[in-house]
């Protein structure tokens, strides 16, 4: 089996990125070689051919677009079919584009706007502060409708799907109030990135997917991270509520034993008083009985003397 690949370029795009000189019709071959090597390294790794395959490539100038032919074979074949996974070919293309564009700095700025400038600051800002009173009712409404299992309090969790629209509205209100400028910057950078990707991959139907959803994917990432920031805050709020509840119950329980002890003490005091009264009463009865007995004895003696 021999795998044959072709990497073809739009010459003005190469010139725009500093790899091509239209006047001399020359290209930075060293850079294109390095790019090809990185692309092939990715392909061989993904297809598990890196231990068994060899390849060769050549840069061609014989058409209107500079292109590179690549041939790959296994001297000792390890498979009967030559079909490669679509994801492998996608990864090869991405490697080429990323090596040329070097958009790492722009991607980092986009990520910083999302993760640091917006979501990061939200994590440090309590929704229950007075300045956030306009979002508190929605915050508490969402909190009161979350599942009992707090492990499910994650934006992507299936059981939270019915709550996502409300969480997104909460995030939207917060972004509009505190991060309107950062959000507009983000949209501008995303639009620019889409244009760069469109030029890099072309507008063919198969490659359109590479940039068509790029902007929305990043916006979704912002809302996911912002949503998780709110859900994390709700977890902390729930811990505080549970702690307050435990303290309240503890106070109630501490009062109950005191009341119970008072009742027990009162019970024993009454019993003690009852025994004392009983003892006094018995003593009084005995005394009365003794005196009456004495009188009867004295009366009996007087009757005997009279006889």
pLDDT given at position 240: 92
Q: With a cut of 60, say whether residue 257 has pLDDT above it.
A: no
* Residues recorded for the chain: 307
pLDDT given at position 297: 53
Cβ burial 194-207 (10 Å sphere, 16+ → b, else e):
bebbbbbbbeeeeb
Bridge partners of residue 57, in order along the sequence: 70
Query: Are the CB atoms for 155 and 224 separated by under 8 Å?
Result: yes
Both tokens of residue 271?
Answer: 């019993």
Q: With a cut of 80, say whether residue 108 has pLDDT above it.
A: yes
pLDDT given at position 198: 84
Q: With a cut of 60, say whether residue 300 has pLDDT above it.
A: no
Q: With a cut of 80, say whether residue 67 has pLDDT above it.
A: yes
Query: Are the CB atoms for 155 and 227 separated by under 8 Å?
Result: yes
CA 131 to chain centre: 25
If you average pLDDT over every residue of the chain, what do you get?
85
Say how far apart CA 98 and CA 49 lie, in whole Å. 23
pLDDT tens digit string along 196-233? 888 888 776 667 777 888 899 999 999 999 999 999 99
In a 13 Å sphere around the CA of 117, the CA atoms on its Cβ side amount to 15
The conformational region for residue 173 under phi > 0 = left, psi -120 to 50 = alpha, else beta, is alpha
Q: How far is CA 162 from CA 139, 167, 217, in A?
A: 15, 10, 20
In a 13 Å sphere around the CA of 61, the CA atoms on its Cβ side amount to 10
Please compute the mean of the pLDDT values over residues 83-107 and round it to a whole number.
87
Q: With a cut of 70, say whether residue 5 has pLDDT above it.
A: yes
Residues 6+ apart with CB under 8 A from 190: 110, 214, 215, 218, 219
Q: Would you state the torsion angle of the CA atoms of residues 229, 234, 235, 237, taken in this order, to the nearest 10 degrees? A: 130
Q: Parse the chain into domains and list their residue ranges.
A: 2-101, 104-254
The model scores a pTM over 0.75: no
Per-residue HEC secondary structure of the chain comes to CEEEEEEECCHHHHHHCCCEECCCCEECHHHHHHHHHHHHHHHHHHCCCCCCCEEEEEEECCCCCCEEEEEEECCCCCCCCCCCCHHHHHHHHHHHHHHHHCCHHHHHHHHHHHHHHHHHHHHCCCCCCHHHCCCHHHHHHHHHCCCCCHHHCCCCCHHHHHHHHHHHHHHHHHHHHHCHHHHHHHHHHHHHHHHHHHHHHCCCCCCCHHHHCHHHHHHHHHHHHHHHHHHHHHHHHHHHHHHHHHHHHHHHHHHHHHHHHHHHHHHHHHHHHHHHHHHHHHHHHHHHHHHHHHHHHHHHHHHHHHC
Question: At 170, is the pLDDT very low, low, confident or very high (cuts 50, 70, 90)?
Answer: very high
Considering only 12-16, 41-45, 74-78, 116-120, which range has the smallest mean pLDDT? Answer: 12-16
pLDDT given at position 268: 64
């Amino acid at each position: 089996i021999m795998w044959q690949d072709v990497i073809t370029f739009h010459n003005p795009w190469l010139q725009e990125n500093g790899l091509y000189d239209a006047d001399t019709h020359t290209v930075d071959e060293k850079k294109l070689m390095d790019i090809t090597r990185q692309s092939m390294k990715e392909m061989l790794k993904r297809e598990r051919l890196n231990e068994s395959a060899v390849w060769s490539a050549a840069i061609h100038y014989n058409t209107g677009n500079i292109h590179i032919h690549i041939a790959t074979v296994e001297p000792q074949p390890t498979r009967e079919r030559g079909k490669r996974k679509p994801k492998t070919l996608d990864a090869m293309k991405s490697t080429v584009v990323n090596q040329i564009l070097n958009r790492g700095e722009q991607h980092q700025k986009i990520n910083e706007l999302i993760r640091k400038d917006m979501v990061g600051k939200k994590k440090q800002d309590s929704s229950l502060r007075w300045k956030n009173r306009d979002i508190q009712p929605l915050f508490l409404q969402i909190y009161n409708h979350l599942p009992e299992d707090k492990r499910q309090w994650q934006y992507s969790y299936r059981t939270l799907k019915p709550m996502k629209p409300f969480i997104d509205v909460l995030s939207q209100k917060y972004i509009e109030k505190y991060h309107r400028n950062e959000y507009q910057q983000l949209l501008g950078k995303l639009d620019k990135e889409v244009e760069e990707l469109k030029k890099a991959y072309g507008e063919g139907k198969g490659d359109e997917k590479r940039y068509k959803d790029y902007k929305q994917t990043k916006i979704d990432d912002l809302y996911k991270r912002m949503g998780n920031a709110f859900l994390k805050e709700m977890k902390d709020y729930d811990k505080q509520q549970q702690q307050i509840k435990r303290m309240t119950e503890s106070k109630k329980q501490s009062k109950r034993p005191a009341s119970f002890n008072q009742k027990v003490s009162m019970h024993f005091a009454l019993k003690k008083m009852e025994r004392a009264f009983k003892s006094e009463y018995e003593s009084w009865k005995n005394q009365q009985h003794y005196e009456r007995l004495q009188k009867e004895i004295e009366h009996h003696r007087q009757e005997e003397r009279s006889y």
